[in-house]
Structure 1
Amino acid sequence: MKIATYNVNGINARLPVLLRWLAETTPDIVCLQELKAPQEKFPQDALWDAGYSAVWKGQKSWNGVAILGRGVELQETRNALPDNDQDEQSRYIEASVHGVLIGCLYLPNGNPAPGPKFEYKLRWFEQFINHAASLLETKTPTVLAGDFNVIPTNLDASHPERWVNDALFRPESRAAFTKLIESGWIDSIRKLSPTQRIYTYWDYFGNAYQRNAGLRIDHLLVSRELSEQLVEASVDRHVRGWEKTSDHAPAWIKIARDS
């Protein structure tokens, strides 16, 4: 089973890119973030024609998350964090497929920091950590995938010194990510590539992609039940070089499990 995460940065504006990538790589499950589209503007028909069913939670102009399934019906289990139903920002959706639970998230950016947006990021992060812990207790094979807006270590930034005061790299953000990992989640890319510089995001400015001045902020975490079935993890870096593409590239894992 191939599971991917991709911050599309506007699903309707990037739909040709998304469809091209889906046709090229045929992932089984895809977690999308930053739909930037209200619920009724999600391109369900185009994705269905491409062979994918979907569950989604949109939001006008901002945020928005979705899970796609190739040739399967997804069973949505929730579309917000527990006790967070009143949050106006669409940032989490969850679905079950082939005995695996998929959680798709778009964690708040948090800039400028310090400030109210950073405080919201940390509150949301803590709620997410609590929910993730409850998922581990179920012993259900689970993947948490999405744009975490966290640079976990210096290895995950081409120039970490430039990000010291940014919400993505502040000690509080990295400490929350570490807390999540230490609770029992496995960072797929780091499990298989512990020392390699791998990026998932390149800014539109300053020829960042051409210079490979990137960040790794899109992550796929797996529960212990899946960690031994993890066989491959990578990033489709070339997609970032396509015309009218997102500033993120799709990241993905393969697990040795029937799909």
Structure 2
Amino acid sequence: MKIASWNVNSLNVRLPHLQEWLKLRQPDVVGLQETKLEDHKFPDDALLELGYRSVFSGQKTYNGVALLSRESASEVQIGIPGFGDDQKRVIAASYGDLRVVNLYVVNGKAVGDEKYDYKLGWLDAVHGWLSEEIKRWPKLVVMGDFNIAPDDRDVHDPAAWDEQILCSTAERNALQRLLALGLHDSFRLHSEEGGQFSWWDYRAAGFRRNLGLRIDLALISDALKPTCIGSVIDREPRTWERPSDHAPVWVELA
């Protein structure tokens, strides 16, 4: 079973890319972030033609998340339960006994900014929610654009990014708290190598020079760890015309 995550940075712009990629890679479940579409504009009919059912939560211009799947989703959750927030950043659904949570984590703007404080509070709310989800759903995947590079291997220039947004100690500690719930970074189950990134700035030829960060993650629970047979960063769509600044990532479960 292939479960993928992709920050498409505007589904309106990137729909042809998504359609092509779905045909090429044939994932079973896909979490999208930054769809930037109100719900009535979501292209669910176009995706259904490719065999994918959709559940989604969107808004104009910003944010927006969706889950695409070959089988129907059940027990769909939109937003973090009990957390008052009108930003469309969270969607979860079940597929049989598998629970999939798709997150578009707050960026935070800059260390010390009020948006940074909001990010840390948001992550704390996610932690509280997932601590209950993993009890109910032992087979849990938590994926998305985390806007956190887990450690210095995931940063093209650790010195330049030291204590900067996406790489600060507090953000990394918040991610480690999530992992401590019984989750594992699937990519690191198969590779200890540094210099493998999922996001590259459009500026300064970031992709061509591989000046990136690994901030798109697929975390899997203890119950799924023995079944994890691969985890991939798919760089190919980043080479296409008018690409998202993020590459898709996926985890494959036996």
Is 1:67–2:67 an aligned residue pair?
Answer: yes
Aligned twin of 1:81: 80
Distance in 1, Cα, partners of 2:75 & 2:13: 25
> Post-superposition shift, 1:76?
4.0
Distance in 2, Cα, partners of 1:206 & 1:244: 16
* Correspondences of 1:1-259 after superposition (within 5 Å): 1-70=1-70, 72-84=71-83, 86-256=84-254
Bigger shift: 131-140 or 115-124? 131-140
When the two structures are superposed, what TM-score results if normalisation uses the length of structure 1?
0.95
Would the aligned equivalents of 1:139 and 1:225 in 2 still touch at CA under 8 Å?
Answer: no
> Post-superposition shift, 1:127?
0.5
Please, what is the CA RMSD of the aligned residues? 1.1
Q: Secondary structure at the match of 1:27?
A: coil
> Post-superposition shift, 1:168?
0.6
Residue type of the alignment partner of 1:7: N
Would the aligned equivalents of 1:55 and 1:76 in 2 still touch at CA under 8 Å?
Answer: no
Distance in 1, Cα, partners of 2:193 & 2:202: 26
Structure 2 residues not aligned, in runs of 5+ = none
Task: String of CA shifts for 1:217-258, please: whole Å, max 9, x gaps.
Answer: 0000011110000000011111111001100000001001xx
Bigger shift: 186-195 or 9-18? 186-195
Would the aligned equivalents of 2:98 and 2:137 in 1 still touch at CA under 8 Å?
Answer: no
> Post-superposition shift, 1:109?
0.1
Task: String of CA shifts for 1:15-38, please: whole Å, max 9, x gaps.
Answer: 111111111101000000001111
> Post-superposition shift, 1:133?
1.2
Task: String of CA shifts for 1:181-238, please: whole Å, max 9, x gaps.
Answer: 1221111001111234321101101111111111100000011110000000011111
Would the aligned equivalents of 1:111 and 1:166 in 2 still touch at CA under 8 Å?
Answer: no
Aligned residues: 254
> Post-superposition shift, 1:138?
2.1
Distance in 2, Cα, partners of 1:111 & 1:234: 28
> Percent identity at matched positions?
39
Q: Secondary structure at the match of 1:131?
A: helix
> Post-superposition shift, 1:177?
0.7
Distance in 2, Cα, partners of 1:101 & 1:197: 30
Distance in 2, Cα, partners of 1:160 & 1:20: 34
Would the aligned equivalents of 2:54 and 2:68 in 1 still touch at CA under 8 Å?
Answer: yes
